[in-house]
Amino acid sequence: MSDREANTTLPSVGLGTMGLDGESGVKSVRTAVEMGYRHLDTAQIYDNEAVVGRGLAESDVPREDVVVATKVWADKLGYHDALASTTESLERLQIDCADLVYVHRPIDAYDPKRTLAAFDELVDSGRTRHVGVSNFSLSELDEALDLLDAPLFAHQTELHPLFYDPELVSHAQEHDYYLVAYSPLSAGKVFDVPELSEIAEKHDADEAAVSVAWLAGKENVVTIPKASGEDHMRANLAAADLELDDEDVRKIESIEREEELFPE
C-alpha cells in the first residue's frame, strides 16, 4: 500500500461503531481508542456520530492519531445535500476535518457525476482528507474511479468467510485503494462454521480471530469488527497478529455456505 496524501493509512483492524449509542457507546469508543484502536468508522444513518465524537474527545489520545471515517446516507447524496450534511457530521463528531467520507450506498439520490463532484469538493474545501465509496459493484467502482478527481481511498463492503468476493479484493489491489471489510464475523455466524472451527483449534484461537486474521492478512484489506465490550475489542485487535498458513486460507475460501447479511 503506497503512501496517500496527508499520509493517512488504515490499520489492519478498526472499530465498527454501528449500534454504539448513549453513555455506554461513548465509553466503548473511549476505551477502544485508549486500548489502541486508530480507526473509528461511523455513518450518518447510525445516528451516533456525536457518540463517536465524544468518545474520541474524552480519550487521552490526540485527535490527529486517529482516523475518523463517516458515510453520507443515500438521501443526502445530491450535490448540495452531500456538502451540507457532511458539515453537520463534522459538527456532531467535534472535528474540523474528517479523514475519510464515504458514499454509503449508490442508491436513492446517488447520481455519479453530481455526487462524486460533491465529494471532490469535500476534499477541496478541507472537509475531508479522503473520499471513499461503500457497497459498490465492480462497474460502479470503475465509474467512480473515472469520475473522481480525488484518488479513491477506500471501498467499504460486506466481506467475511460466508460472503467473499475475490474480484472486489483484486480490484482494490489493482487500483491501490483500501478494501474495508465490514461484518467480518458474519453477525456471529462464524462460530458455527466447521472449517473455521478446525482452523481455530489448530492455532489455539477462536473462529472470530481466524476470520479477522484472514482478512487482515490480505494486501490492501482492513476490517472493522463491531464490538462494545473491552474483552471483545481487545481480542479483535490482537487477532491481526494471528498468522494463517496457505492451507488455512484455501480452506476458508473454499467454504460453500454463503450468507449475505446486508443485501441491497
Can you read off the three cell numbers belonging to residue 102? Answer: 464515504
**SS3 readout for the chain:** CCCCHHHCCCCCECEECCCCCHHHHHHHHHHHHHHCCCEEECCHHHCCHHHHHHHHHCCCCCHHHCEEEEEECHHHCCHHHHHHHHHHHHHHHCCCCECEEEECCCCCCCCHHHHHHHHHHHHHCCCECCEEEECCCHHHHHHHHHHCCCCEEEEEEECECCECCHHHHHHHHHHCCEEEEECCCHHHHHHHCHHHHHHHHHCCCCHHHHHHHHHHCCCCEEECCECCCHHHHHHHHHHCCCCCCHHHHHHHHCCCCCCCCCCC
Q: Calculate the CA dihedral of residues 11, 154, 210, 61 and round it to 10 degrees.
A: 30
Indicate the residue type of 118: A
Catalytic residue numbers, as ranges: 46
Tell me if 225 sits within 8 A of 236, measured CB to CB: yes
Order of all β-strands in the sheet with 67-72 = 15-16, 39-41, 67-72, 100-103, 131-134, 152-158, 178-182, 221-223
Can you read off the three cell numbers belonging to residue 123? Answer: 476534499
